[in-house]
Amino acid sequence: MRSLWNRTKHVIKRPLYAAYERRLTGKARAWRKPEHIGIIMDGNRRFAREFGYDDVVRGHEAGAEKLHDVLGWCHDFGVRYVTLWAFSLDNFKRSESEVKRLLQLFEEKFREIVGDPRVHQNQVRIHNIGRMAMLPPTLQQAIKSAEDATREYTKLQLNVAVAYGGREEVTDALKRYLADEAEKGRPLAEVASEFQASHIDPYLYTNGVPDPDLIIRTSGELRMSGFLLWQSVYSEYYFCDTFWPAFRKIDFLRALRAFDLRQRRYGK
Active site residue: 91, 122, 172, 180, which one? 91
Distance CA 243, CA 71 (A): 17
Closest CA to 124 of 75, 70, 161: 75
DSSP state of 156: E
Q: In what order do the strands lie in the sheet containing 124-129?
A: 124-129, 156-164, 81-88, 36-40, 214-217, 236-239
User: Does the annotation mark 42 as catalytic?
Assistant: yes
Distance CA 125, CA 149 (A): 8
Measure the CA dihedral 43/48/52/54, to 10°. -130
Distance CA 215, CA 64 (A): 19
Active site residue: 42, 128, 159, 213, which one? 42
Distance CA 156, CA 40 (A): 18
Residues tagged active-site: 42, 91
